[in-house]
A and B are shown apart, each in its own frame.
Chain A
Amino acid sequence: MYKAAMLTKDLVAASSKPLLLSILAGGESYGYEIIQKVRELSGGQIEWSDGMLYPVLHRLERDGLIESEWKEADTGRERKYYFISSDGRRALKTERRQWLAVHNSLCKLWKIKPVTI
């Protein structure tokens, strides 16, 4: 998770929580799929080291923001699926407000049109 091609180490670490919660808010998913999605969304700018994703997921699970379950996929292979909890949804709302606050302040400074919250 701390190997970033474009983003700094600190920014990758800080943004992993809202990214993971947002992805899981859109539906349950498993590690490999999440990595692929992040890579795709960021156009390769956010590059997570695969193995380091799991400790981050486990930390979110430990904090009660997500839950996990082993389930058989269509292919017959068992995978550990993660899904967001109600606490996670609340945490995501807070994260969203905070990130947009930073985003909007920067937009004003750089004279770019901000996004409405």
Chain B
Amino acid sequence: MAGRSQLPVQIMENQTRYDLNAAVENWRNELAAQPNLASDDRRELETHLRDAIAGFQQRGLNDEESFWLARRRIGQPQQLVPEFVKANTTKVQWQTKLLIALVITVVPIWFLGKAEFHQVFVNFGNIAYFNFSLSILMIAIVWLVFILAEVLKKMRTSPRFSVLSPFIQTRWRVLISAVVLTVFSYTQIFLLLCMKFVQWGIMVSILGLFALVVWLLLPLRIQTKLKEIVSSRFPKRA
């Protein structure tokens, strides 16, 4: 290393000129610019960078060399991020998705069978049939989500661009979406069967739709953060 043979004054000058914290800060900003990387993953990579820098420093390298080597070992964010996304995404088999969509369809229709089924379509949009109409809409949405998700996958669209990804990104998300929609459909039908609760039914419908929209629009990063908060409240047993 050329720096070693320099005069002590020059070495000191070099070291004071190199701001390690600023370098780490820059690196962190570069990583933060990657939209698909969860905050937990960023934090993990940053602790790794700091550990690696400390390791090189212990071996006698200066701040600049340590940072440079540590950054190189971790690799380019552009190459890393797709691997992180792949690792965090569960491949849900299309058969599983089809099964869930079928269950969500069959259960309310079986229930509807007890009422006059055709009446729902005849009176679609009628306030008295508001809940029934909404159930049918929900079923349609589930199928739309299912079909669109498959089409988008065929088109190899990046998960970032898919509005549907919050629904189907992990096995848990598919399950939660399915349970929410099924319970929602059940509630609608139950409330309609007890006609006096029509107002309640409308309220539940609006709340349900609101929750659905929130779930859809809530960015993955915020959801990961929420998960972190929950897991820090209830730490896993080692």
Could you list which residues of chain A lie within 8 angstroms of chain B, going by C-beta atoms? 28, 30-32, 36, 49-52, 54-56, 58-59, 62, 67, 69-70, 77-80, 83
Chain B 90-110, CB within 8 Å of chain A: the 1/0 string? 100000000000000000000
- Interface size band for B: 20 to 34
Chain B 50-81, CB within 8 Å of chain A: the 1/0 string? 11100100000000000000000111000110
Check A52 against B48 for contact (C-beta < 8 Å).
Answer: no
The docked-state distance in angstroms from the alpha carbon of A99 to that of B84 is 27
Check A58 against B88 for contact (C-beta < 8 Å).
Answer: yes
Chain B residues near A54: list those with CB within 8 A: 41, 44-45, 48, 84, 87
Check A32 against B88 for contact (C-beta < 8 Å).
Answer: no
Question: Counting CB contacts under 8 A, is B236 at the interface?
Answer: yes
Chain B residues near A28: list those with CB within 8 A: 238
Question: Assuming the A-B contacts A32-B52, A51-B80, A58-B88, are A83 and B47 also in contact, with contact meaning beta carbons closer than 8 angstroms in the complex?
Answer: no
Check B238 against A83 for contact (C-beta < 8 Å).
Answer: yes
Given A28-B238, A55-B87, 6 other A-B residues pairs in contact with their CB atoms under 8 A = A49-B73, A54-B84, A56-B87, A58-B41, A67-B236, A77-B51
Check B47 against A55 for contact (C-beta < 8 Å).
Answer: no
The docked-state distance in angstroms from the alpha carbon of A70 to that of B46 is 13
Check B48 against A62 for contact (C-beta < 8 Å).
Answer: no
Chain A residues near B113: list those with CB within 8 A: none
Check B87 against A59 for contact (C-beta < 8 Å).
Answer: yes
How many Å from the CB of A79 to the closest CB on chain B?
5
The docked-state distance in angstroms from the alpha carbon of A7 to that of B39 is 33
Check A50 against B47 for contact (C-beta < 8 Å).
Answer: no
Chain B residues near A56: list those with CB within 8 A: 87
Chain A residues near B80: list those with CB within 8 A: 51-52, 55
